[in-house]
Copies of this chain bind each other. A is one copy, B any other.
Amino acid sequence: MSELDTIDRRILDLLQQEGRLTMTELGERVGLSTSPCSQRVKRLESLGIITGYHAHINPAAVGKSLLVFVEITLSEKSEPIFKKVRDELQNMPEVLECHLVSGSFDYLVKARLTGMSEYRHMLGTMLKQMPVAAQSSSYVVMEEIKESSVVRIDRSRPRT
Protein backbone atom coordinates (compact mmCIF):
# COMPACT_ATOMS: atom_id res chain seq x y z
CA MET A 1 0.00 0.00 0.00
CA SER A 2 2.61 2.52 0.98
CA GLU A 3 5.42 0.56 -0.61
CA LEU A 4 8.06 2.76 -2.18
CA ASP A 5 9.11 1.82 -5.68
CA THR A 6 12.36 2.66 -7.42
CA ILE A 7 11.11 5.99 -8.69
CA ASP A 8 9.92 7.05 -5.24
CA ARG A 9 13.34 6.27 -3.85
CA ARG A 10 15.09 8.27 -6.53
CA ILE A 11 12.77 11.17 -5.84
CA LEU A 12 13.61 11.02 -2.15
CA ASP A 13 17.28 10.84 -2.93
CA LEU A 14 17.21 13.80 -5.30
CA LEU A 15 15.03 16.00 -3.10
CA GLN A 16 17.23 15.34 -0.12
CA GLN A 17 20.16 16.73 -2.05
CA GLU A 18 18.39 19.48 -3.97
CA GLY A 19 15.30 20.48 -2.10
CA ARG A 20 14.22 23.17 -4.51
CA LEU A 21 14.26 21.13 -7.70
CA THR A 22 11.27 21.94 -9.87
CA MET A 23 8.85 19.12 -10.51
CA THR A 24 9.66 19.42 -14.20
CA GLU A 25 13.38 18.97 -13.63
CA LEU A 26 12.81 16.23 -11.08
CA GLY A 27 10.49 14.45 -13.49
CA GLU A 28 13.09 14.52 -16.22
CA ARG A 29 15.70 13.04 -13.92
CA VAL A 30 13.50 10.15 -12.86
CA GLY A 31 11.94 9.58 -16.28
CA LEU A 32 8.46 10.94 -15.69
CA SER A 33 6.55 13.91 -16.96
CA THR A 34 5.71 16.70 -14.59
CA SER A 35 2.23 15.64 -13.49
CA PRO A 36 2.87 12.16 -12.11
CA CYS A 37 6.11 13.36 -10.58
CA SER A 38 4.33 16.10 -8.71
CA GLN A 39 1.66 13.60 -7.73
CA ARG A 40 4.25 11.25 -6.25
CA VAL A 41 5.89 14.02 -4.28
CA LYS A 42 2.54 15.07 -2.83
CA ARG A 43 1.89 11.49 -1.87
CA LEU A 44 5.27 11.21 -0.15
CA GLU A 45 4.50 14.40 1.74
CA SER A 46 1.05 13.33 2.86
CA LEU A 47 2.35 9.93 3.97
CA GLY A 48 4.78 11.71 6.25
CA ILE A 49 7.79 10.32 4.40
CA ILE A 50 8.89 13.77 3.30
CA THR A 51 8.51 15.79 6.48
CA GLY A 52 9.62 19.18 5.23
CA TYR A 53 12.03 21.26 3.21
CA HIS A 54 14.70 23.38 4.81
CA ALA A 55 17.38 25.79 3.72
CA HIS A 56 20.68 24.87 5.28
CA ILE A 57 22.67 27.87 6.45
CA ASN A 58 26.16 28.54 7.67
CA PRO A 59 25.69 28.93 11.43
CA ALA A 60 28.71 31.20 11.78
CA ALA A 61 27.07 33.73 9.48
CA VAL A 62 24.38 34.31 12.10
CA GLY A 63 26.74 34.24 15.03
CA LYS A 64 26.27 30.64 16.11
CA SER A 65 29.87 29.57 15.98
CA LEU A 66 29.87 27.37 19.06
CA LEU A 67 28.70 23.79 18.68
CA VAL A 68 28.42 21.74 21.86
CA PHE A 69 27.28 18.27 22.79
CA VAL A 70 26.08 17.70 26.32
CA GLU A 71 25.60 14.33 27.94
CA ILE A 72 23.09 14.32 30.75
CA THR A 73 22.57 11.64 33.33
CA LEU A 74 19.48 11.59 35.50
CA SER A 75 19.71 10.24 38.97
CA GLU A 76 16.02 9.51 39.04
CA LYS A 77 14.40 7.86 36.06
CA SER A 78 10.62 8.03 36.13
CA GLU A 79 8.15 8.78 33.39
CA PRO A 80 7.13 12.20 34.80
CA ILE A 81 10.78 13.21 34.84
CA PHE A 82 11.30 12.02 31.29
CA LYS A 83 8.28 13.99 30.18
CA LYS A 84 9.47 17.14 31.88
CA VAL A 85 12.88 16.84 30.26
CA ARG A 86 11.30 16.38 26.85
CA ASP A 87 9.08 19.42 27.28
CA GLU A 88 11.88 21.63 28.53
CA LEU A 89 14.29 20.73 25.76
CA GLN A 90 11.63 21.23 23.10
CA ASN A 91 11.32 24.83 24.20
CA MET A 92 15.00 25.63 24.03
CA PRO A 93 15.69 26.89 20.51
CA GLU A 94 19.45 26.62 20.91
CA VAL A 95 19.00 22.86 21.39
CA LEU A 96 19.01 21.35 17.91
CA GLU A 97 18.86 17.71 18.86
CA CYS A 98 18.10 15.61 21.86
CA HIS A 99 18.24 11.84 21.99
CA LEU A 100 17.50 9.34 24.69
CA VAL A 101 20.35 6.87 24.51
CA SER A 102 21.25 3.56 26.00
CA GLY A 103 24.61 3.20 27.63
CA SER A 104 26.34 5.11 30.35
CA PHE A 105 24.28 8.29 30.20
CA ASP A 106 20.71 9.22 29.37
CA TYR A 107 20.39 12.19 27.05
CA LEU A 108 22.65 13.43 24.33
CA VAL A 109 21.98 17.06 23.49
CA LYS A 110 23.36 19.02 20.56
CA ALA A 111 23.24 22.80 20.75
CA ARG A 112 24.46 25.73 18.68
CA LEU A 113 25.33 28.83 20.62
CA THR A 114 26.84 32.26 20.13
CA GLY A 115 29.47 31.82 22.79
CA MET A 116 30.36 30.83 26.29
CA SER A 117 27.92 33.13 28.03
CA GLU A 118 25.05 31.56 26.17
CA TYR A 119 26.51 28.17 27.03
CA ARG A 120 26.58 28.94 30.72
CA HIS A 121 23.05 30.23 30.53
CA MET A 122 21.87 27.09 28.77
CA LEU A 123 23.51 24.75 31.26
CA GLY A 124 22.03 26.76 34.11
CA THR A 125 18.56 26.51 32.62
CA MET A 126 18.94 22.80 32.08
CA LEU A 127 20.07 22.06 35.59
CA LYS A 128 17.38 24.27 37.07
CA GLN A 129 14.54 22.95 34.94
CA MET A 130 15.61 19.35 35.26
CA PRO A 131 16.13 19.04 38.98
CA VAL A 132 17.39 15.52 39.00
CA ALA A 133 20.11 16.03 36.43
CA ALA A 134 22.76 14.41 38.51
CA GLN A 135 25.61 14.85 36.12
CA SER A 136 26.51 16.41 32.82
CA SER A 137 29.52 16.33 30.55
CA SER A 138 30.07 18.79 27.75
CA TYR A 139 32.09 18.43 24.59
CA VAL A 140 32.97 21.46 22.55
CA VAL A 141 33.36 20.84 18.84
CA MET A 142 36.75 22.02 17.57
CA GLU A 143 36.19 21.06 13.95
CA GLU A 144 33.10 19.99 12.05
CA ILE A 145 34.37 17.34 9.73
CA LYS A 146 31.01 16.39 8.32
CA GLU A 147 27.46 17.49 8.93
CA SER A 148 24.50 16.33 6.93
CA SER A 149 21.05 14.93 7.38
CA VAL A 150 20.90 13.26 3.99
CA VAL A 151 20.11 9.60 4.45
CA ARG A 152 21.49 7.15 1.94
CA ILE A 153 18.63 5.51 0.04
CA ASP A 154 19.42 1.87 -0.63
CA ARG A 155 18.42 0.45 -3.95
CA SER A 156 14.87 -0.80 -3.72
CA ARG A 157 13.90 -4.42 -3.67
CA PRO A 158 10.71 -3.96 -5.68
CA ARG A 159 8.23 -6.84 -5.66
CA THR A 160 9.11 -7.48 -9.29
Contacts and interface: CB of A to CB of B under 8 A. Distances in A.
Given A19-B54, A112-B151, A99 B144 contact: yes
B69 A108 contact: yes
Range of interface residues on chain A?
35 or more
Interface in A137-157: 137-154
A51 interface: yes
What is the count of identical protomers in the complex? 2
A62 B154 contact: yes
A108 B101 CA distance: 14
Interface of A: 4, 9, 12, 15-20, 47-59, 61-64, 67, 69, 85-86, 89-90, 93-105, 107-108, 112, 114, 137-154
Given A19-B55, A49-B62, 4 more contacts: A20-B20, A97-B147, A97-B148, A99-B141
